């Protein structure tokens, strides 16, 4: 039995129709998990689900659309996931928002609240909805996709960075609360990854060069280079890790 085997496990991944979320869903499916694909648009979820089922076998994935800003949508995501697969073993809180790029002095109240609500509050909502069944089974893994933005200051991503730092603390707090039930809560903090979400940071060649110049690997990352950490956290390989943040950034934060 491989340490990274996820057969028999069900994973719910938010924001899983593209980028890091999609890579995590595909790699978990490859390692044997049943996966729930979720983002705001049902038709896009359906397309991704069809692709995963074609690659890894019929019944591997189901699609359940949900807007993370809606508590009702998130509860429906949990209810329908349970209906489809009978349980949730692994929860990946990947979906996030960043509607503002610039100094904190210029952010509107609505933009600031949207970032905090979608990147912190919604994660706590969803975790609270999934945790009771994990407590009952005395087993579960919760993974929050944070960012190295939460480890550094920023002149243009301040609100986003604040939310991602809070996600790391959310993981630590919940790890303390739920450890006695054998529930692990961890974060992944990616550096600059080539996703649509981070396009403003890599699409311009000058910005990309500046972003990677001091990184030891001298390049941007890919979504698939984040997925392995999620498989580790969701499988037996990660059973003794909780409350931690794994940084995957090509060395950007150490140089």
Tokens 């499916």 found at: 29
Question: Could you give the 3-state DSSP secondary structure of residue 102?
Answer: strand
Q: Residue 251: count other Cβ atoms within 10 Å of its Cβ.
A: 14
Question: Could you give the 3-state DSSP secondary structure of residue 247?
Answer: strand
- Residue-by-residue DSSP string for 170-219: HHHHHHHHHGGGTEEEEEEEE-SB-SSTTHHHHSSHHHHHHHHTTSTT-S
Is residue 101 flagged as an active site residue?
no
Distances in Å between the Cα of 115 and the Cα atoms of 104, 165, 173, 246 are: 12, 12, 20, 22
Sheet strands side by side (includes 10-14) = 61-63, 34-38, 10-14, 90-93, 140-145, 183-190, 245-248
Q: Which member of 100, 101, 160, 178 is catalytic?
A: 160
- Residue-by-residue DSSP string for 41-56: -HHHHHHHHHHHHHHH
Query: How many whole angstroms separate alpha carbon 46 and alpha carbon 50?
Result: 6
Question: Could you give the 3-state DSSP secondary structure of residue 109?
Answer: helix
Tokens 């998990």 found at: 33
Residues with catalytic function: 160
């Amino acid at each position: 039995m491989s340490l990274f085997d996820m057969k028999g496990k069900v994973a719910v991944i938010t924001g899983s129709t593209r980028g890091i979320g999609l890579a995590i869903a595909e790699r978990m499916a490859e390692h044997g998990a049943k996966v729930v694909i979720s983002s705001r648009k049902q038709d896009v979820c359906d397309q991704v689900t069809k692709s995963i089922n074609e690659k890894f076998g019929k019944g591997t994935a189901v699609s359940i659309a949900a807007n993370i800003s809606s508590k009702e949508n998130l509860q429906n995501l949990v209810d329908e996931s349970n209906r489809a697969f009978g349980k949730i073993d692994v929860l990946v809180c990947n979906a996030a928002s960043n509607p503002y790029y610039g100094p904190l002095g210029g952010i509107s109240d609505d933009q600031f609240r949207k970032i905090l609500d979608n990147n912190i509050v919604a994660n706590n909502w969803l975790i609270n909805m999934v945790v009771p069944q994990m407590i009952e089974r005395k087993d579960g893994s919760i993974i929050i996709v944070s960012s190295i933005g939460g480890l550094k200051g920023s002149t243009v991503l301040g609100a986003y960075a604040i939310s991602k730092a809070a996600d790391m603390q959310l993981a630590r707090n919940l790890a303390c609360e739920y450890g006695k039930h054998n529930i692990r809560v961890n974060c992944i903090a990616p550096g600059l990854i080539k996703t649509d979400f981070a396009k403003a940071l890599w699409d311009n060649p000058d910005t990309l060069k500046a972003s990677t110049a001091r990184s030891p690997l001298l390049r941007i990352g890919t979504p698939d280079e984040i997925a392995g950490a999620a498989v580790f956290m969701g499988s037996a390989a990660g059973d003794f890790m909780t409350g931690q943040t794994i940084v995957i950034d090509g060395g950007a934060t150490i140089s």
